[in-house]
Amino acid sequence: MRIDEFLKQSFVRRPEKGAAGEESDWLEFCDLQVVGKCIWVGDANFVPHEADGFLVAVDPGCYSVTAKAIDFGGDKRVSRLRVCPQGAQPEVGEKIGDT
């Protein structure tokens, strides 16, 4: 399933404080063609504040992007993002931070 299909039935309401929600499996997001030497990872709602994201060094090439989301009873939000070279088996890397 693609992330857009999962999020399509979402509605906005604040989850109760401390609610855990239910996390999805990894969902297809997009392919990413990198022509430079790094990618920016962050929450687009907070652009252009550089402190709200991370620059990650990567080799140029095509990458597969997948995501997980949390469902708080209908309010669905992206919870994790994974980027790996296209065709490669994803591996758990080091955490780069929170955004």
Put simply, whether the predicted model's pTM sits higher than 0.95 gets the answer: no
In a domain, 92, yes or no: no
Number of domains composing the chain:
1
Of the pLDDT bands very low, low, confident and very high (cuts 50, 70, 90), residue 99 is low
Asked whether residue 32 carries a pLDDT value surpassing 70, the answer given is yes
In a domain, 94, yes or no: no
C-alpha to C-alpha distances, 46 to 38, 52, 54, nearest whole angstrom: 19, 7, 12
The tens digit of pLDDT for each residue in 53-66 reads 788 899 999 999 99
In a domain, 99, yes or no: no
CA 11 from centroid of its chain's CA atoms: 19
Q: What is the 3-state secondary structure (H, E, C) of the chain?
A: CEHHHHHHCCCCCCCCCCCCCEECCCEEEEEEEECCCEEEEECHHHCCCHHHEEEEECCCEEEEEEEEEEEECCEEEEEEEEEEECCCCCCCCCCCCCC
Asked whether residue 12 carries a pLDDT value surpassing 90, the answer given is no
In a domain, 33, yes or no: yes
Give residue 38's domain range. 3-10+21-85
In a domain, 59, yes or no: yes
